[in-house]
Amino acid sequence: MPRRRRSIRSSSPRKSSGKPVTRARVGAKTGTAQKVIHGRYSNTKNFTTFTAIIPADKPKYLFLVVYDEPQGTSETHGFATAAWNAGAVTGRVIDRIAPILGIPPRFDQPQLPFPRLAQAGAGTKP
C-alpha cells in the first residue's frame, strides 16, 4: 500500500467515533452498506465492515471483521454502524493479540481517561 494512503488510513481511528486502540499503530477503514431487499435499499438492514492493518507504518497483519445485519444496543446508543460494532470488536482483538504478535505498544498519545484529557486541554487550539 502506498505510504500516502497508509497515512490517510492511519488517521481514521483517531478521528472516528470509536475508541483508539491502545496497543499498536493501526491503519483502518470502516464500511457500512445498506442491504438490497426486493430490489430496494433497506433502511433497517445493513452490512458493516472494519478493515485494519498493524502496524500502520509497516503493515504486517490485516484484520477484517464483517457483521451481517448488526443490531444497535444501549452500549452503542442504538447505532448499528461499523464504528460502533465491527470497529469496536477489531480494537479489542488487536489490543489482545498485538503483544502475542510482538507488535510494540504505541506511546504517541496519552492514555488518560476523557475527563483528564479535557482538563489537560486536549483538543483545544493554542
pLDDT at 124: 47
Quick check: is 29 in a domain? yes
Quick check: is 124 in a domain? no
Quick check: is 126 in a domain? no
Quick check: is 125 in a domain? no
Number of domains in the chain: 1
State pLDDT tens for residues 32-91. 999 999 999 999 899 999 999 988 888 999 999 999 999 988 888 888 888 888 888 888
CA distance 28 to 57: 12
What domain range includes position 42? 3-119
For residue 65, give the nearest of 42, 34, 32, 41 by alpha carbon.
Answer: 32
